[in-house]
């Protein structure tokens, strides 16, 4: 009964912290006056009375590339293999007026993705969109799942289940709420309140030490939210530093709070690393307490924080390198452009956003170590 009460208390506490942080940070992020909001271009276009675009798969029967044109161009014969046009053969022009890259040229026997675009004249134009690469991608995912289950056994299976639920919550709960006009921060905290306990308990089981990991993870996320809001406002970031947000500005989603969207993305990124560090630190302290019940809470904290420093040293480096790797093409572009000073590149909105993202994620990790170690040394003491 005592163990159940402890778990229940920890769960209630974590949800109170997350919900309180959601409302507090949401109000802080939306505290700008209407005059301070960045105007979003709106296009007042009448909806076109056209059938929707359709996508099909097809197989290239032949691909001829004339040599005298001077641009990348192919005359392609394609057999449609899916949908209402299955079995039909289309003769398409690929490239020419629509510039394509060398890797976008198709070869005989390749599977491709086609799009059918209705026109106002009552015709339908067909274009090659991309090469069909889903089968190898699915095989790669299957190999990942198989290895995770083979080496991780029940824990690996639980981690995959938690991953699936996390993706489902983000895609089916968080994103729709944001698109409906909800606060990105409040929507994200709602998702975190589901993802954090589910991912921890499914991957690591139900125990006092996983409850401690959940509690410390919630506290760390709340602190990270406060730091993210502070840093984003100090840096005068609007959340419009990437090309994707510029596309979202146009049309019906132009009223999204893009600064809140930036903050939400930072917190979701930090959440991934917190699961690992809080569970690991809690397990370390729990095992120390079992190995030597005579250890006092202070001694448990001292030994546990020593191990935690090793986690910090390795994971901070891993986290920063992961962010750098994701932005490698842009970093390469900046290094080529010798006419622009380094400080100007660092001052750009996109780079500043990535720096803040990496710093907040690293700080969440650093703060989680002493928080988890301290809570575990008190709550898990035998």
pLDDT at residue 329, rounded to an integer = 81
What total number of domains does the chain contain? 2
Tell me: do 360 and 269 sit in the same domain.
yes
Radius of gyration for the chain, computed over Cα atoms and rounded to the nearest angstrom: 26
d(CA 204, CA 281): 13
Local structure of residue 83 (DSSP, 8 states): G
Last residue of a domain, one of 131, 150, 168: 131
pLDDT for residue 236 is more than 50? yes
pLDDT digits (tens, 9 = 90+) for 145-202: 999 999 999 999 999 999 999 999 999 999 999 998 899 999 999 999 999 999 999 9
Last residue of a domain, one of 112, 131, 150: 131
pLDDT digits (tens, 9 = 90+) for 47-84: 456 778 899 999 999 998 877 566 788 889 999 999 99
Local structure of residue 39 (DSSP, 8 states): P
Both structure tokens of 39? 């105007």
How would you classify residue 330: left for phi > 0, otherwise alpha for psi between -120 and 50, otherwise beta?
Answer: alpha
Specify the DSSP element, H or E, that contains 327.
none
Torsion of CA 198, 369, 271, 321, to 10 degrees: -140
Rounded mean pLDDT, 312-331: 80
Residue 357 counted as domain residue = yes
Last residue of a domain, one of 131, 152, 174: 131
pLDDT at residue 70, rounded to an integer = 67
Q: Backbone phi, then psi, for 133, in 5-degree steps?
A: -120, 10
pLDDT at residue 42, rounded to an integer = 47
The verdict on pTM exceeding 0.85 is no
């Amino acid at each position: 009964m005592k163990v159940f009460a402890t778990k229940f208390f920890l769960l209630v506490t974590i949800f109170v912290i997350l919900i309180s942080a959601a409302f507090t940070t949401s109000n802080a992020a939306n505290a700008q006056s209407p005059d301070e909001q960045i105007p979003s271009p709106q296009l007042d276009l009448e909806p076109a009375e056209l059938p929707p675009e359709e996508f099909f798969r097809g197989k290239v029967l032949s691909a001829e590339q004339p040599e005298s044109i001077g641009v990348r161009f192919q005359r392609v014969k394609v057999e449609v293999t899916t949908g209402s046009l299955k079995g039909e053969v289309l003769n398409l022009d690929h490239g020419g007026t629509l510039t394509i890259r060398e890797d976008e040229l198709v070869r005989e026997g390749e599977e491709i993705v086609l799009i059918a675009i209705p026109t106002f004249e009552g015709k339908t134009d067909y274009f090659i969109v991309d090469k069909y690469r889903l089968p190898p991608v699915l095989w790669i995912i299957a190999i990942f799942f198989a290895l995770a289950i083979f080496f991780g056994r029940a824990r690996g299976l639980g981690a995959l289940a938690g991953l699936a639920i996390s993706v489902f919550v983000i895609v089916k709960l968080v994103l729709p709420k944001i698109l409906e006009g909800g606060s990105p921060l409040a929507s994200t905290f709602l998702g975190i309140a589901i993802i954090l306990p589910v991912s921890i308990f499914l991957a690591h089981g139900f125990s006092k030490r996983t409850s401690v990991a959940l509690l410390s993870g919630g506290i760390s996320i709340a602190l990270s939210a406060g730091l993210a809001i502070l840093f984003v406002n100090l840096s005068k970031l609007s959340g419009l530093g990437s090309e994707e947000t510029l596309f979202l500005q146009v049309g019906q989603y132009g009223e999204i709070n893009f600064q809140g969207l930036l903050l939400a993305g930072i917190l979701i990124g930090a959440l991934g690393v917190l699961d690992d560090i809080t569970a690991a630190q809690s397990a370390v302290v729990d095992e120390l307490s079992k190995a030597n019940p005579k250890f006092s809470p202070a001694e448990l904290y001292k030994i546990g924080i020593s191990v935690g420093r090793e986690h910090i040293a390795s994971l901070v480096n891993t986290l920063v390198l992961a962010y750098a790797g994701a932005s490698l093409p842009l970093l390469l572009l900046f290094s080529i452009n010798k006419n622009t000073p380094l400080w100007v590149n660092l001052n750009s909105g996109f780079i500043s956003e990535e720096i803040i993202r990496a710093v907040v994620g690293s700080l969440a990790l650093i703060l989680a170590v002493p928080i988890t170690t301290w809570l575990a040394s008190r709550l898990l003491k035998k």
